[in-house]
Amino acid sequence: MIDLSLLTDGGVGWLDASGPSSHLVLSTRIRLARNLAGRVFQGRNSETEREDILSTVEHAARESVLLRRATKFRLDRLEPTDRQLLHERHLVSKELAGLDSDGRVRSGASLLIQDRIGVMLNEEDHLRIQGLHSGFALEAAYAEVDRLDAELGQRLAFAFHPEFGYLTSCPTNVGTGLRASVLIHLPGLVLTKEISKVLQGLAQVGLTFRGLYGEGSEVVGNFFQLSNQTTLGSSEHELLDHLGKMVRQVMDYEEQARQVLLRDAPAIIEDKVWRAYGLLRYARALSFEEAMNLLSGVRLGVGVGLIPDVAMYTLNKLLVYTQPAHLAVAEGVEPTEADLPIRRARFVRKVLESEVGRRG
Amino acid sequence: MSCDQCHEREAVIHLTQIVNEQVTTLHLCERCAAEKGVESPSGVAKTPLGSFLAAMGNNLTETEPAPRTGDTCVRCGGSFQDFRESGRLGCPECYRSFEAPLRELLRRLQGSTHHVGERYAEQGAQPGDGQVRTAELREQLRLAVETENFELAAELRDRLRVME
């Protein structure tokens, strides 16, 4: 098993609920797609070329300030559970971890990470520079990633076209190469059935949504990842401003929906959130989806002040730590399909018990 | 259901056509469909771009001087057809090799063809290398102090003193 204790906060600092608007927004992610000039893209390159990209970028990173002490993970040399663990922590994409349907990890697939920022190497593009912050923090997250981009850009030659901007393997990322996403919890809008209207509205203004685990993942537990759809024709700050404004608007709608629920159906909501808490606290088997939905209910209860004794941080942690690879690591053995729900329930009970115990 | 064409393999593609106001549905297996030039959904829609590219393929030939079949990128040898199938380009040079159809694609996909964000200053293109180097070191020093990396900060300060 890999040792994630080498990473600051085990790489899950983004879960600590310390950032702005943490009661609604779990995390903000920024990524920049970059490729090295004069080299073929990932889809057509060889193992040797990928190794060369890895060593070239790593060399540049070791000379930089922001990745000088970076920890390196070679995904292609890790066991499946370890790759999945990094993916569950949102540190690498499904593609890089080789968890796509074909299940193959590409040679040279690597991650360099130091604190909140890092670079995925030999992903769809040669470099995916990324930063992950707690709460709603678009500008702060971008500023850090932008600095790293500048640092690496001084030492490497990036593929750049005067008209099209930064060149990427897929034209959906060309230009700025910027994808900014905000992971937001919207149970109020789901319960009041306003969510589809909101999502349609976002699509009309050029934003898109995905599930908890990004591209291709389904929405579970009322968590939505909102992000910019286009990467060309607007500057980085325009893209961030636009997304930021829209997210603030969605946050307002969500707060309003919660007020409506509390005003019109207080008894139902109170029952719903405590029922969710009761199940999490005492259930003996929990499927992933059920756990996500119950955590969503408790999160809503904590957010509107109905459940006093649970910290957002605990709930955020449970989202990640109740997933298969994390449960395997926590208990030191690979769980089978059949006992996974039992282990999940046991883990959740233990965490919630200690939380209540600590607060007396 | 067996394939209408070969009557052997299982039909997996159901092609509905309207010819002379007559609606006909053809049930084809993957191989016969490919022979008829019908792409299977598994082949095209692997990438989110896949269906978009398939849909625009026909229009493209009408409106744009699309690259002739067999045209390949001078650098990587990839063709525009490869891109339409995979949704991914072969190399940076592909943006020049297939400039016309890509510009059209970007207009539809991104609503623009012009990058207006940060401009990348290529290596060696900057005038006054010494000045650039000093500015770079100063920026590194600022970052090092900010991230409380004092060991590096001291080293950078010494190097700056020598240069100035």
B64 band by pLDDT with thresholds 50, 70 and 90: very low
Write the ipTM: 0.87
Q: Do B115 and A176 touch (CB under 8 A)?
A: yes
A132-182: per-residue pLDDT in tens? 999 999 999 999 999 999 999 999 999 999 999 999 999 999 999 999 999
Q: Is the model's pLDDT at A198 over the cut of 60?
A: yes
How is residue B5 annotated by DSSP?
A: T
Nearest-Cα distance to chain A for B99, in Å, is 10
With helix as H, strand as E and coil as C, how does A150-186 read? HHHHHHCCECEECCCEECCCCCCCCECCEEEEEEEEC
pTM, 2 dp: 0.80
Q: Can you tell me the mean pLDDT for B115-139? A: 68
Q: B87: which chain A residues are within 8 Å (Cβ-Cβ)?
A: 170
CA nearest to B120, candidates A166, A192, A316? A166
| Tens-place pLDDT, residues A213-270 | 766 667 789 999 999 999 999 999 999 999 999 999 999 999 999 999 999 999 999 9
Interface test with A, best of B91, B129, B139 (most A CBs within 10 A): B91
Q: Give tens-digit pLDDT for A31-57.
A: 999 999 999 999 999 999 999 999 999
B125 and A CB contact within 8 Å: no
Q: What is the pLDDT of residue A132?
A: 95
Is there a contact between A172 and B49 if contact means CB atoms under 8 Å apart? yes
Residue B25, chain A, CB below 8 Å: the answer is: no
Beta bridge pairs of residue A243: none
Which tens digits make up the pLDDT trace of A269-318?
Answer: 999 999 999 999 999 999 999 999 999 999 999 999 999 989 999 999 99
Please determine, for residue B125, whether its predicted confidence score (pLDDT) is greater than 50.
no
**Does residue B95 belong to the interface with chain A, where contact is any CB pair within 8 Å?**
yes
B18: three-class secondary structure by DSSP: strand
- Helix, strand or coil, per DSSP, at residue B96: helix
- Within 8 A of B90 by CB-CB distance, chain A residues are 40-41, 43-44
